[in-house]
């Protein structure tokens, strides 16, 4: 292991193994123009069996700092009980992360990222979005606090931005563009807003064949076998995006390999609002690939409060593309918003063009289960007959029986004993998230 230059503070030389970085403070020089990465492997090299433990990695208040720990080229790495702060870009870079990976030609993983505080303007954790021929696998992300301070949001006082006064580039909290076999459990994701073409979602699953000046550089990228559970997203421009996308479609971008087998359960999506610049929607499920469309998506026991004047779910796919399939949307408890299931765009070429819940679900998914959900305050013109069969409807929030709704912003969403949705799940549990279990899981998140 050697000290790096202004672009990398600590570099693992190729072949480095069995290092434990314990109790360190690692940061960058103040006032330099570079956007450094604090820890990485020498370019093209590999390293293994590395633990970062109880350390503080940080940038400076105004300077650009691209990455805390770049995992590209590594195997058997744990990032635990550490504090990451002030990772942001305003001029020398456009995307910043506390932890990143998913690039290069090496078979990366497994990884454990647990019990950390993760503060980054771009994404606190990102896998993918670069040239790669392999997909990192077996990634566990648990007990982390994802956070962006309100001072970074333009218009707030006090405001903190780059040296030139421009705001930092804010995107999402957690994003996968290239990763397989991922568990995301017991995380708190707090404060995210729209900016720099992004809508400020808590979680984004979007396999991407990144397009660069050299062409499409990751046709084998995939996001598959992902489980998200016992996680709380609060104060966000949107909840969760699950979509296949094409990088730079007008410049010849192409599809990646696969986006499939995504499971979300026992999750709270709280205070999703247009105040944060996004659409305030709970979910987006959409496809942009001609073949091998999004499939096998399970959303079960989720409690969500999207913007009341907005949308519960965006769906979309060109009718000429292969259809999405395998949607299971069950046992959820959600505010529907004024426009419950809405088209992502594309006019009459989109499967969701009609913007009617049952019509969009049937047209966009060849196989689906959309049943046994508690749908709260549906608009009067979306009567039960416009929805898939066997769902339940609450005309007011008071009809649900939350312990403390608190306007869908940090309330106690455990159901009272007399709630009509108590023990009404297909599994005998309450509709919505397991609030008691989720609170217990987050007890040790700081």
% of the chain with per-residue pLDDT over 70:
99
Residue 205: name the closest of 87, 286, 137 by CA: 286
Say if residue 272's pLDDT is above 60: yes
The distance of Cα 263 from the centroid of its chain, to the nearest Å, equals 13
The residue-averaged pLDDT of 54-77 equals: 98
- CA-CA distances (angstroms) from residue 172 to 121, 180, 190, 409? 8, 20, 11, 19
Which CA distances in Å does 283 have to 279, 305, 361? 10, 11, 14
Contact 47, 73 (CB under 8 A): yes
Residue 36 has pLDDT above 60, yes or no: yes
Band of pLDDT at residue 6, cut at 50, 70 and 90: low
For the chain, the average pLDDT equals 96
Instruction: Report yes or no: 178 and 171 within 8 Å, Cβ to Cβ.
Output: no
Residue 4: per-residue pLDDT:
45
Each residue of 139-180: pLDDT tens digit?
999 999 999 999 999 999 999 999 999 999 999 999 999 999
pLDDT given at position 3: 45
How does pLDDT run across 369-388, given as a tens digit for each residue?
A: 999 999 999 999 999 999 99
Average pLDDT over residues 295-308: 97
Q: Which residue is it, tokens 């094409």?
A: 246
> Average pLDDT of 123-149?
98
Beta-carbon count within 10 A of 427 CB: 11
Rounded to whole angstroms, how far apart are CA atoms 340 and 205?
A: 21
Contacts of 428 (CB under 8 A, 6+ apart): none
Over 90: is that where the pLDDT of 7 sits? Answer: no
Joined tokens for residue 170 = 């804010």
Q: What is the mean pLDDT of residues 410-417?
A: 98
Quick check: 122 pLDDT over 90?
yes
Greatest alpha-carbon pair distance for the chain in Å reads: 66
Give dist(CA 210, CA 98) in Å, integer.
Answer: 21
pLDDT of residue 197: 87
| Residue 286 bridge partners (DSSP) | 243, 316
pLDDT tens column, 328-365: 999 999 999 999 999 999 999 999 999 999 999 999 99
| Confidence (pLDDT) at 141 | 98
Three-state helix/strand/coil letters over the chain: CEECCCCEEEEECCCEEEEEEECCEECCCCCCCCCCEEEEECCCCCEEEEEEECCEEECCCCCCCCEEEECCCEEEEEEECCEEEEECCCCCCCCCEEEEECCECCCCCCEEEECCEEEECCEEEEECCCCECCCCEEEEEECCEEECCHHHCCCCCCCCCCCCCCCCCCCCCEEECCEEEEEEECCEEEEECCECCECCEEEEECCCCCEECCEECCCCCEEEEEEEEEEEEEEECEEEEEECCCCCHHHCCCCCCEEEEEEEEEEEEEEECHHHCCCCEEEEEECCCCCCCCEEEEEEEEEECCCCCCCCEEEECECCCCCEEEEEEECCEEECCCCCEEECCCHHHECCCCCCHHHHHHHHECCEEEECCEEECCCCCCCHHHCCCCCEEECCHHHCCEEECHHHCCCEEEECCCCCCCCCCCCCCCCCCCHHHHHHHCCCCC
When pLDDT is averaged across residues 286-302 and rounded to a whole number, the result is 98
Mean pLDDT confidence for 266-272: 98
Pairwise CA distance, residues 45 & 16, whole Å: 9
pLDDT at 5 over 60: no
């Amino acid at each position: 292991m050697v000290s790096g230059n202004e672009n990398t503070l600590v570099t693992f030389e190729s072949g480095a193994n069995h290092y434990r970085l314990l109790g360190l403070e690692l940061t960058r020089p103040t006032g330099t123009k570079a956007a450094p990465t604090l820890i990485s492997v020498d370019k093209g090299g590999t390293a293994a069996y590395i633990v970062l433990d109880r350390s503080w990695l940080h940038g400076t208040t105004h300077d650009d700092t691209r990455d805390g720990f770049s995992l590209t080229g590594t195997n058997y790495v744990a990032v635990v009980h550490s504090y990451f702060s002030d990772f942001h870009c305003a001029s020398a870079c456009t995307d910043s992360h506390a932890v990143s990976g998913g690039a290069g030609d090496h078979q990366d993983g497994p990884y454990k990222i647990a019990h950390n505080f993760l503060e980054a303007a771009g994404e606190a954790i990102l896998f993918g979005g670069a040239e790669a021929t392999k997909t990192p696998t077996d990634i566990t992300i648990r007990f982390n606090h994802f956070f962006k301070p309100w001072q970074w949001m333009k218009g707030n006082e006090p405001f903190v931005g780059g040296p030139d006064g421009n705001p930092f580039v804010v995107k999402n909290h957690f994003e996968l563009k290239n990763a397989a076999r991922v568990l995301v459990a017991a995380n708190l994701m707090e404060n995210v807003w729209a900016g720099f073409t992004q809508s400020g979602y808590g979680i984004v699953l979007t396999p991407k064949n990144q397009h660069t000046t050299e062409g499409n550089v990751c046709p084998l990228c995939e996001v598959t076998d992902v489980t998200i559970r016992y996680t709380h997203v609060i104060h966000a421009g949107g909840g969760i995006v699950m979509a296949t996308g094409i990088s730079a479609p007008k410049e010849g971008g192409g599809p990646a390999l696969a986006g499939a087998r995504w499971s979300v359960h026992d999750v709270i999506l709280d205070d999703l609002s247009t105040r944060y610049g996004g659409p305030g929607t709970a979910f987006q499920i959409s496809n942009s690939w001609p073949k091998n469309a999004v499939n096998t998506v399970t959303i079960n026991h989720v409690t969500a409060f999207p913007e009341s004047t907005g949308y519960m779910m965006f769906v979309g796919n060109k009718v000429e593309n292969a259809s999405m399939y395998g949607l299971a949307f069950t046992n959820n408890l959600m505010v529907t918003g004024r426009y419950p299931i809405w088209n992502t765009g594309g006019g009459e070429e989109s499967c969701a063009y009609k913007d009617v819940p049952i019509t969009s679900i049937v047209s966009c998914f060849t196989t689906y289960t959309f049943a046994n959900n508690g749908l709260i305050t549906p608009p009067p013109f979306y009567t039960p007959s416009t929805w898939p069969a066997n769902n339940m409807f609450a005309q007011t929030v008071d009809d649900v029986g939350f312990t403390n709704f608190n306007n869908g912003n940090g309330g106690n969403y455990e159901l009272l004993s007399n709630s009509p949705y108590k023990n009404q799940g297909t599994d005998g549990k309450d509709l919505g998230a397991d609030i008691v279990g989720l609170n217990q899981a987050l007890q040790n998140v700081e």
